[in-house]
């Protein structure tokens, strides 16, 4: 599929732990190095001054936003603040002035605002946050990382379609293999939702590799891992906590001989890097899929380099027409009429248009 | 509460990866070192010969079992094999000849057989597997690790009572603090089941510390962590997988100088130990709570030393009258009449007798 020239990426400068300075620095680098077309959204005078600092006045257009969603504000604020920087980013997408957006704001705030203002794309029941796990030889997409906490089996099946489209566009995997996160590898294992989802996934045209367990998340055995937002979020944070404990364990081992300490320091460095990779590539850093527009949620702690990467990802996803690819995949994942078994609030199990 | 002299512990010699030899060796050590009263259950002649090898003929009584649940057999086999070694252990408890049991058989097989043959203790809706997380300064109890995959909020509330009793008896914690595993620390966060469970836990007499997230599992902030068996199992396996990846990362760093290698080796050793600790103390090693009898599920890979520990734990739990403590705690956790909100298949939300 040939990439199209994508529209600009709206960049929320008000989110993130490091303030507008880091976001603008990262955006300017993306505009200059990658030639990404951007719109900087936030407090106009602040952005103006920051651009001047980089000698980039006039290089990147600015869209002023009166309000900010603070890190403490959750989902409710998205209704109360129609002129927040995140809401303005969504408005630029709705009006066709932007093709995608990047925000390092709180995940809850970005998800709630984007759901409200971009709305779900046709045929998709619920959105999902796709995160990238640092597996080898190539990365694994896990979704949902927290957007839809009470997912029905039909939604998990759609997540398989969303994740397949994402792995194709973001990583160029021709036929992504999809695993279902559950407990026990046999088809009959799991809870009610995953048992039903397993049956459904086996009946639609995705490359379904079957059940996978928590200890398979980082082994790279599949390209896409499907789970509900509650389980996905718990699993991701559990992995982060375990690696953080491993780093702490290393610290207590630092009483060895000076010669040994050199090795120990090298090892700790590697572990810390692993912890950071798990942290920044997973929870809090992801792509919200299934809405009428591409939303890249950068990690709250993103530095300028991470913002540059997020801008490039947003540009690449809209160049790869991720929203259109999802529409096609969800239509392909249209299920045969299953007997109802007490799941789903949809009148029938027909996905797509 | 004064401990009572406990009845014997029935030990299933047919489960586990290392065969009856490791189990009998561990049991003999428990009988000799700790003075634990045991009954060895399994193939009579085999046990007889193994006892003779240890010069322990006649020291430990034997109960013959015709059948074995193999590692491949799951829940269904528990019905088909009423004379499996696990079933005979349960029968000894039912008849009062044993106070507790230990098995290194498959978790699915042990849980299914014990649920069928010991049945749930009065007032407890569903059993839960309690596992011990290697936290500091003292261990944390997590339940459920996989017995009840579709738990209603009322069941999570009961798990808080089960876990509180367990932390008191097993670790001597006077007033265990209980955390609810969910996503987001604020009361309104989580999925439907955990939001409702949060409300209920706040209304009953347990020391409820509120929500905890996946990355808090190993920080030792609470004494008891409550979750459903699906989420608990995924979280535990996710942590194991993450630590295993950390160990693998270390391996790729082993190309440093010889001096550095010494430190690296020390570090790897520590990490491997952490991985083993997470593995053996968590999934596959746990205590099945809520039935009419104490069931210690030893890890499938248990060596003789692990079996000795499991026998000591079973003895200690029955000495501490864990079943009676659970009955008391569940009665105390009797809920005020909540408005129903579509959860629960019980006629009303009154626990206990």
Parts of chain A with a pLDDT under 50: 1-2, 283, 339-353
Q: What percent of chain B has pLDDT over 70?
A: 84
What mean pLDDT is predicted for residues B323-349? Answer: 64
Closest among A221, A220, A213, A267 to A238, alpha carbons compared: A213
In the prediction, which pLDDT does B352 show?
35
Confidence at B80, pLDDT banded by 50, 70, 90: confident
Contact between A190 and B263 using a beta-carbon 8 Å cutoff: no
Contact with chain A for residue B219, Cβ under 8 A? yes
Peptide bond into A144 cis (omega under 30): yes
Closest among A227, A276, A129 to B238, alpha carbons compared: A227
Contact between A230 and B260 using a beta-carbon 8 Å cutoff: no
Which backbone phi and psi does A103 adopt, to 5 degrees? -140, 140
Residue B345 pLDDT exceeds 50: no
Question: What's the gap in Å between the CA of B7 and the closest CA on chain A?
Answer: 35
> Please, which residues 259-318 of chain B have a Cβ atom closer than 8 Å to chain A?
259-268, 270-271, 274, 278
Contact with chain A for residue B182, Cβ under 8 A? yes
Distance CA A38, CA A40 (A): 6
Which residue from B minimizes the CA distance to A274? B246
Which residue from A minimizes the CA distance to B194? A230
What mean pLDDT is predicted for residues B79-86? Answer: 86
Contact between A264 and B259 using a beta-carbon 8 Å cutoff: no
- CB-based burial of residue A343 (10 Å sphere; 0-12 exposed, 13-18 middle, 19+ buried)? middle
In the prediction, which pLDDT does B187 show?
82
Distance CA B135, CA B131 (A): 12
Contact with chain A for residue B175, Cβ under 8 A? no
The reported pTM is 0.89
Question: What's the gap in Å between the CA of B6 and the closest CA on chain A?
Answer: 35
Q: What is the pLDDT of residues B255-290, one digit of tens each?
A: 555 666 666 676 677 777 777 777 655 545 799 999
Instruction: Give the position of tokens 């390209």.
Output: A223
In the prediction, which pLDDT does A347 show?
35
A151 vs B254, which has greater pLDDT? A151
In the prediction, which pLDDT does B351 show?
35
Question: What's the gap in Å between the CA of A12 and the closest CA on chain B?
Answer: 24
Residue A211's DSSP bridge partners are: A180
In the prediction, which pLDDT does A269 show?
75
Option in B108, B234, B245 nearest A181 (CB): B234
Contact with chain B for residue A75, Cβ under 8 A? no
Q: What is the pLDDT of residues B149-176, one digit of tens each?
A: 999 999 999 999 999 999 999 999 999 9
Q: What is the enclosing helix (H) or strand (E) of A79? A: helix A77-80
Contact between A235 and B230 using a beta-carbon 8 Å cutoff: no
Option in A192, A218, A267 nearest B267 (CB): A267
Which residue from B minimizes the CA distance to A231? B231
In the prediction, which pLDDT does A225 show?
98
Which residue from A minimizes the CA distance to B235? A235
**How many angstroms separate the Cα of B42 from the Cα of each of A19, B22, B105?**
67, 13, 12
Query: Roughly what angle, to the nearest 10 degrees, separates helices A258-281 and B229-252?
Result: 130
DSSP state of B332: H
In the prediction, which pLDDT does B199 show?
95
Distance CA B68, CA B13 (A): 10
Q: What is the pLDDT of residues A181-222, one digit of tens each?
A: 999 888 888 999 999 999 999 998 899 999 999 999 999 999
**What DSSP string describes A21-57?**
HHHHHHHHHHHHHS---EEEEE-HHHHHHHHHHTT-T
Assess contact for B40 and B13: CB atoms under 8 A: yes
Closest among B117, B93, B116 to B39, alpha carbons compared: B93
> Please, which residues 101-140 of chain A have a Cβ atom closer than 8 Å to chain B?
108
In the prediction, which pLDDT does B84 show?
93
Assess contact for B205 and A208: CB atoms under 8 A: no
Contact between A230 and B229 using a beta-carbon 8 Å cutoff: no
Q: What is the pLDDT of residues B179-198, one digit of tens each?
A: 999 998 888 889 999 999 99
Distance CA A143, CA B321 (A): 44
**What DSSP string describes A136-188?**
SSS-EEEE-SSS-SS--HHHHHHHHHHHHHHHHHHH--SS-EEEEE-SSSSTT
Length of chain B counted residue by residue: 353
Chain A to chain B Cβ contacts (< 8 Å): 199
Option in A108, A186, A262 nearest B260 (CB): A262
> What is the pLDDT of chain B when averaged over all its residues?
87
Option in A149, A191, A243 nearest B246 (CB): A243
Q: Is A211 helix (H, G, I), strand (E, B) or coil?
A: strand
């Amino acid at each position: 599929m040939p990439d199209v020239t994508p529209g600009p990426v709206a960049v929320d400068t008000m989110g993130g732990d490091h303030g507008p300075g880091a976001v603008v620095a990262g955006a300017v680098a993306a505009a200059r190095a990658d030639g990404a077309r951007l719109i900087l959204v936030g407090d106009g005078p602040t952005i103006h001054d920051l651009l001047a600092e980089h000698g980039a006045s006039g290089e990147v257009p600015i869209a002023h936003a009166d309000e900010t969603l603070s890190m403490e504000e959750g989902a409710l604020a998205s209704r109360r603040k129609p002129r927040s920087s995140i809401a303005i980013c969504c408005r630029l997408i709705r009006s066709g002035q932007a093709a995608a957006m990047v925000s390092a704001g709180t995940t809850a705030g970005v998800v709630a605002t984007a759901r409200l203002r971009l709305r779900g794309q046709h045929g998709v029941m619920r959105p999902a946050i796709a995160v990238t796990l640092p597996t080898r030889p190539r990365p694994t997409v896990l979704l949902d990382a927290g957007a839809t906490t009470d997912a029905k089996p039909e939604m998990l099946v759609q997540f398989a379609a969303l994740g397949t489209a994402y792995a194709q566009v973001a990583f160029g995997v021709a036929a992504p293999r999809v695993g279902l996160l559950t407990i026990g590898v046999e088809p009959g294992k799991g809870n009610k939702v995953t048992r039903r989802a397993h049956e459904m996934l086996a009946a639609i045209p995705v490359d379904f590799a079957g059940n996978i367990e928590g200890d398979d998340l980082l082994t790279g055995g599949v390209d896409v891992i499907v789970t509900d937002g509650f389980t996905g979020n718990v699993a991701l944070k559990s992995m982060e906590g375990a690696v953080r404990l491993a780093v702490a364990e290393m610290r207590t081992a630092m009483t060895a001989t000076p010669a040994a300490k050199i090795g120990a320091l090298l090892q700790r460095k590697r572990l810390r890097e692993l912890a950071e990779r798990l942290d920044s590539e997973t929870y809090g850093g992801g792509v919200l899929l299934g809405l009428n527009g591409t939303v890249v949620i950068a990690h709250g702690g993103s530095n300028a380099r991470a913002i540059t990467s997020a801008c490039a990802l947003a540009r690449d996803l809209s160049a790869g027409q991720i929203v259109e690819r999802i529409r096609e995949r969800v239509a392909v994942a249209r299920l045969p009429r299953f007997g109802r078994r007490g799941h789903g609030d949809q009148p029938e199990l027909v996905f797509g248009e």
